[in-house]
């Protein structure tokens, strides 16, 4: 290709990128306008005694209020998006995250209007949206959402219902921001439901001090201690209400928006989940192999700063496609090998098909995309040497090596690369005896180098430093994990 052609191609690709960016901006602007208008309508409708009839609702004054409230909401959403772009650019471009933001803000506004009006101004579960955003998008975006959303909510609340409760509203804003920041800061430590509820209770108690003090100090509110205590109790109930709503809504959001959280990953990693239960019954050898690969992948992911739980879950599912023909895989065979009766071309097509079959099964089960992608990518475009050599022994003609290779995408994530390595190492180590630790290290090093030399890691962001850390982790972990198999006193075969 000529230099001028290359320059033309580059220019065309820049232009199409700019066009796509412009389209994205327009799409996001329309989306923000619609969501803002919807929230403004909800706020207006919540003042039902004022807008009891269609005529009143569509009066110029009412429409102007809706428009101005929508403008406030649009500023709020735009600011959150600008901040999201600042901290996590790839997330602001993803429509899924925009939907999460809009859905959690809308839900929180509805709950806030309902509980604030019907129960008490302190019982506004504003922490709900910041917890959802922190869990599903990013913690920093969760905190900024808490600050902006709480203030916007009370501004629109006061505009809609009058300013009599201005001090209580301000106290409620600060209480919800304080509670949200504490909850988000300790979210990772609350890795079980019970711990999460306990954290909500502690944060609720701490933040309840604010309305208590405000009720005593404020000149416009009663200085009665009982009133202050009741205000604190409402604030505590608001925290617990946010926690309860979060626990109910999070699994629905995870399912609807197909997002992974620690809760979801731990659920799908359970051997009680249907595909894994099937694997343990119908392909016990593959099931055991997957558990070992899971342990290795978890350690390797931790070593290079990837999500260990996600790596383990993806490893558990990487070979589920073998469920289509479990007996055709050596780890499940008990004496009888169907490949003895098949020509190598048929054998290899059964073997290589387990990646796509696994991808389809995982997709059908509604599991996260990354789990399905790992199942499809974990062999990349590697060769199935056993059947290639068998075919070469059968014929004098040249055998096309591509016919004896996987034809799948190469690993596109570091987790898929880790599982490719852990899978290879687990299978190769099974029958390996090494004379020394040095020799064992060289053995693992060569297995990883072989994959890298075949270009299997060109489509993911894994670095040489990552590969070195993975090698170190495997060299350290495998002898203790397979102490019966790795015997340094044995001579290599």
CB of 321 to Fe ion, least distance (A): 8
Q: b vs e for 226-243, b when ≥16 Cβ sit within 10 Å of the residue's Cβ?
A: eebebbbbbbbbbbbbbb
* DSSP 3-state of 155: helix
- CA separation for the pair 42, 240 (Å, rounded): 24
CA 25 to chain centre: 25
CB of 406 to Fe ion, least distance (A): 9
Q: Which is nearer to Fe ion, 260 or 332 (CB)?
A: 332
Identify which of residues 234 and 406 has a Cβ nearer to Fe ion in the complex.
406
- Cβ distance to Fe ion smaller for residue 254 or 423: 423
- Select the residue whose beta carbon is closest to Fe ion and give its number: 423
* Dmax (CA) of the chain: 99
Nearer to Fe ion, 319 or 471 (CB): 319
Nearest distance from residue 233's CB to Fe ion, in Å? 56
Residue closer to Fe ion, measured from CB, 159 or 338: 338
Work out how close the CB of 305 gets to Fe ion at its nearest, in angstroms, rounded to a whole number.
24
As a 3-state breakdown, the chain gives helix, strand, coil percent values, each rounded to 5, of: 75, 0, 25
Residues contacting residue 421 through CB under 8 Å, at least 6 positions apart: 300, 447, 448, 451, 470, 474
Nearer of residues 65 and 312 to Fe ion, judged by Cβ = 312
Q: From the CB of 172, what's the least distance to Fe ion, in Å?
A: 54
Q: Is 377 in contact with 412 (CB distance < 8 Å)?
A: yes
DSSP states of 394-405? H-SSPPPGGGGB
Between 306 and 319, CB nearer to Fe ion: 319
Task: Please identify, using beta-carbon distances, which residue of 98 and 323 lies nearer to Fe ion.
Answer: 323
Q: How far is the CB of 429 from Fe ion (least distance, A)?
A: 13
Residue 206 φ then ψ, to 5°: -65, -50
Element (H, E) at 144: helix 139-161
Taking the complex as a whole, the smallest distance from the CB of residue 288 to Fe ion amounts, in Å, to 11
Helix (H, G, I), strand (E, B) or coil at 383: strand
Backbone φ and ψ for 383, nearest 5 degrees, come out as -90, 150
DSSP letters spanning 293-320: HHHHHHHHHHHTTS-HHHHHHHHHHTTG
What is d(CA 101, CA 14) in angstroms, rounded to the nearest whole number? 30
Find out whether 46 and 113 touch, Cβ atoms under 8 Å: yes
Count of Cβ atoms closer than 10 Å to residue 225 Cβ = 11
Residue 279's H or E segment, with its range, is helix 274-282
Taking the complex as a whole, the smallest distance from the CB of residue 486 to Fe ion amounts, in Å, to 19
For the bound state, the minimum distance from the C-beta of residue 280 to Fe ion, rounded and expressed in Å, comes to 15
Contact 111, 125 (CB under 8 A): yes
Q: Give min distance, CB of 293 to Fe ion, in A.
A: 6
Smaller CB separation from Fe ion, 408 or 423: 423
Instruction: State the residues that interact with Fe ion by CB under 5 A.
Output: 319, 423
Which residue's CB is nearer to Fe ion, number 168 or number 423?
A: 423
For residue 433, the minimal CB distance to Fe ion (Å) is 22
Q: Which is nearer to Fe ion, 168 or 319 (CB)?
A: 319
Measured over the CA atoms of residue 43, residue 47, residue 53 and residue 56, the dihedral's sign is negative
Q: Is the dihedral of CA 169, 171, 177, 179 positive or negative?
A: negative
Contact partners, residue 95, CB within 8 Å, separation at least 6: 27
């Amino acid at each position: 290709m000529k230099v001028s052609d290359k320059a033309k191609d580059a220019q065309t690709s820049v232009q199409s990128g700019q066009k796509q960016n412009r389209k994205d901006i327009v799409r996001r602007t329309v989306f923000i306008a619609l969501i803002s208008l919807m929230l403004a309508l909800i706020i207006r409708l919540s003042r039902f005694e004022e807008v009891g009839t269609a005529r009143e609702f569509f009066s110029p004054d009412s429409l102007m209020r809706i428009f101005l409230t929508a403008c406030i909401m649009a500023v709020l959403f735009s600011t959150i998006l600008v901040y999201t772009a600042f901290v996590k650019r790839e997330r602001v471009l993803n429509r899924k995250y925009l939907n999460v933001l809009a859905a959690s803000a809308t839900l929180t506004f509805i709950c806030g209007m309902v509980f604030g009006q019907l129960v008490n101004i302190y019982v506004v579960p504003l922490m709900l949206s910041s917890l959802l955003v922190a869990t599903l998008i990013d913690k920093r975006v969760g905190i900024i959402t808490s600050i902006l959303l709480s203030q916007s909510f009370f501004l629109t609340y006061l505009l809609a219902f009058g300013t009599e409760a201005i001090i209580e509203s301000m106290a409620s804003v600060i209480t919800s921001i304080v509670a949200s920041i504490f909850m988000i800061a300790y979210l990772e430590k609350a890795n079980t439901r019970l711990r999460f509820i306990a954290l909500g209770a502690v944060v609720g108690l701490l933040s309840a001090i604010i309305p208590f003090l405000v009720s005593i100090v404020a000149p416009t509110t009663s200085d009665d201690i009982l009133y202050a205590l009741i205000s604190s109790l409402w604030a505590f109930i608001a925290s617990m209400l946010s926690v309860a709503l979060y626990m109910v809504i999070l699994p629905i959001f995870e399912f609807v928006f197909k997002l992974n959280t620690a809760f979801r990953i731990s659920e799908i990693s359970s051997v009680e989940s249907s595909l894994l239960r099937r694997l343990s019954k119908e392909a016990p050898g593959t099931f055991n192999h997957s558990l070992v690969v899971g342990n290795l992948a978890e350690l390797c992911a931790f070593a290079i700063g990837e999500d260990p739980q996600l790596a383990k879950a993806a490893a558990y599912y990487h070979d589920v496609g073998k469920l289509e023909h479990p007996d055709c895989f050596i780890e499940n065979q008990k004496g009888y090998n169907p490949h003895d009766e098949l020509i190598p071309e048929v054998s290899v097509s059964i073997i290589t098909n387990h990646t796509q079959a696994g991808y389809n099964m995982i997709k059908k089960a509604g599991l996260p995309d990354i789990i399905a992608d790992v199942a499809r990518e974990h062999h990349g475009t590697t060769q199935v040497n056993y059947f290639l050599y068998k075919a070469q022994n059968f014929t004098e003609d040249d055998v096309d090596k591509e016919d004896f290779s996987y034809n799948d995408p190469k690993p596109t994530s570091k987790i898929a690369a880790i599982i490719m390595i852990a899978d290879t190492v687990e299978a190769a180590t099974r029958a390996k005896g090494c004379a020394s630790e040095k020799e064992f290290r060289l053995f693992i090093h060569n297995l990883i180098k072989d994959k890298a030399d075949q270009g299997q890691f060109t489509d993911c962001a894994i670095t040489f430093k990552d590969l070195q850390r993975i090698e170190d982790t495997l060299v350290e972990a495998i002898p203790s994990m397979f102490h019966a198999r790795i015997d340094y006193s044995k001579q290599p075969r």
